[in-house]
Structure 1
Amino acid sequence: MFDLTFLGIGYASLAMLAAMILLLLTGMQLAFSTCLVAMVFAIGWFGVDVLPLITSRIYGFVGSYVFLAVPMFVLMAALLDRSGIAKDLFDAMRVVGRKVRGGVAVQTLLVAVVLASMSGVIGGETVLLGILALPQMLRLGYNRKLAIGTTCAGGALGTMLPPSIVLIIYGLTASVSIGDLFKASFVPALLLALLYMIYVLVLCRLNPSYAPLPTDEELAMEEPPKFFKALFFPLLSVLVVLGSIYSGIASVTEASALGVVGIGISAWIRGELSAEMLKESAIATMRTCGMIIWIGIGATALVGVYNLMGGIDFVEQLILSLSGGDVMTTILIMMVILLVLGMFLDWVGVALLTMPIFVPIITGLGLDPIWFGVVFCLNMQVSFLSPPFGPAAFYLKSVAPKDISLGEIFSALLPFIGLQIVVLTLVILFPSLALWWK
């Protein structure tokens, strides 16, 4: 039996962080790195008798009823990826978008908002837009960076717009109402999307060559879209999922199941539902949810051990001493920590590792944890696009033309990262943007 208590909580915190970094550098997955560090420090600090407490904490996380919403929304996204709903939606709006300078880029963002409101998973949305919108804009002569940035930033809107998986995981971790989080994130998410659209329109107005307008002959050759088929199913899905939540008819978990049924029926009516489609969607869902659950298990174990060691109180005192007790400085320190972690860790790991520490500090300062959930999601928005490991850029790279490099994608995203930071700052300075419904 080894004893680690001689380190004290300060050096133990550094040792845990160093051990995690070293394990991650060896290529070990985050879930197993956190599990291993948690087990070593649990035994070294308390002995083997503490392990049942850690397993009960893990069971409490995995067995949460609300957690059922995660696989349901992921399955919605998987079914949506494999149906033609998104393609028909994009094609229908293309006719309107082509008549306005920069209209196809704005249309891409509008489609992104609808897709985000249907699934809440950024990977599928970014890939879908990369397949549908990016080649279209490049073919029409749009500026490459504008086309790339719009596609990638639009695909990441699923982080903020309900039913965001990020909000669900935050709600589970912070023990706050997920329905309230959905209400709180709605206005900031739409504000961010609106800023994207204004930026695109202004940029194309100042630089007409960025978005050439089609000739009358080209417009005449466009096939008239089937608006009913294209718009009915997406809008119905959004209405069923978000409408049932906001009206109080269904809980988030129940609404997620309704969404899956709605997308399934829509695909069946369109003649696209098949056994192969269901099999592929189920496999994709299990892979994604398996990743989330394993990261959750590791992070929950690590935070549980660290809490028993007195680490959460230590971090709280450290942050408050660094900020001098000033509320705004405390929030800025948290934002910097989240931004740095978001560059290197998956958002699930960031949420599960930091929120059990940060949320008690926020509530202790008299701030609203619902508002902080929106701030956290906006912060994760930035991390999704930021180099060196912004996942949205890698998702887009997987389907982009081969001559588009990761460096070019990250360069194209810089203006949109700036807009994200603007909205993040506004929500921090004006909490009523998130708490408008209270």
Structure 2
Amino acid sequence: MDIANATILMVGLIFALLVTGLPLAFITGLIAMAFTFGWFGPNALPLVTSRVYGFVTEYSLVAVPMFVLMASLLDRSGIAKDLFNAMRMFAGRLPGGVAVQTIIVAFFLAALSGIIGGEIVLLGMLALPQMLRLGYDKRLSIGVVCAGGALGTMMPPSIVLIIYGMIASVSIADLFTAAITPAVLLMAAYIAYVLVRCFRNPALGPPLSPEDTDAGFSSKGEALRAIMIPALIAGMVLGSIYGGIASVTEAAAMGVFGVLLAIASRGEFSIKTLHGSLGQTMTTCGMIIWIGIGAAALVGVYNLMGGNRFVSGMIQGMEVAPILIILVMMAILLLLGLFLDWIGIAMLALPIFIPIVVQLGYDPIWFGILFAVNMQVSFLSPPFGPAAFYLKGVAPPGISLKDIYISVLPFIAIQLCVLAMILMWPQIPLWMLN
């Protein structure tokens, strides 16, 4: 069998086994073993296991459990709830104000943890019931929660960017710096969309009454103090990275310490809280590591078969402008995002795509930001769309998956517009690095 037919067989087996409901980690691992023994024989097994060992011993991975633990602790504390309620005082009686506030709170939470699932669940429990109670349009409310929660793929300290930096062997701090402008641009685009719709039709987001604006705080000063705690934690984490004081991994540990200190100062710390947070961290990181192990094995054997040279030659053999090759890559990532989790896409596609991007003369930092925006689209896109399932688990009974999928469509369009802008004007993410 030649490499072209082997590639078709490998891709076909992945999608065929996905239909059976097997976890992606097991699918990639099984296919890797089958091709290792079928193509090379048992003597090639140590070459594949060395790829797996290289993945699990990567120092940058240490930052992942730290940021996951930060998110888990925030989920179990009242910090996020107080942040949401405090922002309501500053939203005032603006049409769509609570939806705007939800997007800003989502941005803050993304800057604290970089974990998408936890943010969507938290906003689904805090913000969605409030907006529905205040008479907000159901689809607008759902879309705001899902799109806002997905900002974690872009806003540092994004786990997506950490994994990309590890695979691409580029500076994670530079990726974080480059991601700030696109993340702010996305947040601003979401806010602009909400305000335009609510000013044109105030019934979609009715202004707040004075009773709703108070939100349990006696003054704006008290509400401001509730905002300061998460702002200080985010500033400590990101400031230490950008200031060159700490590496990403060290900053992640500092963030966990800051959250623990904040929880203790609020009198919310308990062994039960710590135990639950550590358990959730183990579960989440275990999933990431197992998918990474399977994908590393699969990509390793595929490269040994000459797959990377085959794909590189096929793509570079296209007699088109280099930017069109990047567009083809974006289309492939969008297609994979309909069926696969982001970590699987990253581990399977990036080791093949990144060398081609570099050979074409493009900046891998810029491509990393494109990848992160693309993964935002995948978080919302049906039929897989993890955001829909995260929200469905905590949404009020009257909200169906169909409602969620319809609600996120305008926000997917906004994400695609931002993706196109970054493709057309690479300086959007890169200007802060110059």
Measured in 2, the distance between the counterparts of 1:230 and 1:139 equals: 23
Q: Which runs of 5+ in 2 are unaligned?
A: none
Distance 1:228 1:254 in 2: 29
Equivalents in 1 of 2:126, 2:276: separation in Å?
A: 20
| TM-score of the two chains, using structure 2 as the length reference | 0.97
Instruction: Give me the whole-angstrom Cα distance separating, in 2, the residues matched to 1:214 and 1:252.
Output: 41
Q: SS where residue 435 of structure 1 aligns?
A: helix
| Deviation string, structure 1 residues 260-283 (Cα, Å, up to 9, x no partner) | 000011000001110000000000
Post-superposition CA distance 1:212-264 (Å, at most 9, x none): 12345665796425225411210111011000001110000000000000001
- Conserved? CA contact 1:319–1:333, under 8 Å: no
Asked whether the 8 Å contact 2:88–2:213 carries over to 1, the reply is no
TM (norm. structure 1) is 0.96
Name the residue aligned to 2:292: 296
Q: 1:347 to 1:216 in 2, by over 3 A?
A: closer
Question: Are residue 206 (structure 1) and residue 206 (structure 2) matched?
Answer: no
Letter matched to residue 404 of structure 1: I
Deviation at 1:291, TM superposition (A): 0.3
Q: Distance in 2 between matches of 1:18 and 1:369?
A: 29
1:432 — aligned with what?
A: 427
Alignment equivalent of 1:15, drawn from 9, 22, 28: 9
For 2:65, the aligned partner's letter is P
Which residue number in structure 2 is paired with residue 418 of structure 1?
A: 413
Paired residues for 1:294-333 under 5 Å: 294-321=290-317, 323-333=318-328
Q: Percent identity?
A: 58
What letter is aligned with 1:356? P
Partner of residue 229, structure 2: 233
- Kept after mapping to 2: 8 A contact 1:95/1:222: no
State the alpha-carbon separation in 2 of the partners of residues 325 and 38 from structure 1.
33
**Which of 84, 105, 109 in structure 2 is aligned with 1:111?**
105
Q: Distance in 1 between matches of 2:209 and 2:23?
A: 53
State whether structure 2 residue 47 is matched by structure 1 residue 56: no
Can you list the C-alpha shifts for 1:348-381, whole angstroms capped at 9, x where unaligned?
0000000000000000000000100000000001
Post-superposition Cα deviations, 1:280-318, rounded to whole Å, max 9, x if no partner, equal 000000000000000000000000100011001111122
Count, aligned residues: 431
**Counterpart secondary structure, 1:205:** helix
Match of 2:190 among 196, 210, 213: 196
After TM superposition, give the deviation of residue 57 of structure 1 in Å: 1.2
Could you list the per-position Cα deviations for residues 60-98 of structure 1 after superposition, in whole angstroms to 9, with x for gaps in the alignment? 111011110000000000001000000000111112214
1:160-202 CA deviation, whole Å, 9 max, x = no partner? Answer: 0000000001111111111110011110010000000011111
1:366 to 321, 346, 361: 361
Query: What are the within-5 Å matches in structure 2 for residues 1-12 of structure 1?
Result: 7-12=1-6
| Match of residue 373, structure 2, among 369, 378, 384 | 378
Cα RMSD between the aligned structures? 1.3
Greater CA deviation, 103-112 or 12-21? Answer: 12-21
User: Comparing 66-75 with 226-235, which one deviates more in the overlay?
Assistant: 226-235
Q: Which residue identity lines up with residue 56 of structure 2 in the other structure?
A: V
- For 2:214 and 2:20, the matched residues in 1 are separated by 58
Contact 2:25 2:294 survives alignment (8 Å): yes
For structure 1, the 5+ residue unaligned runs are 1-6
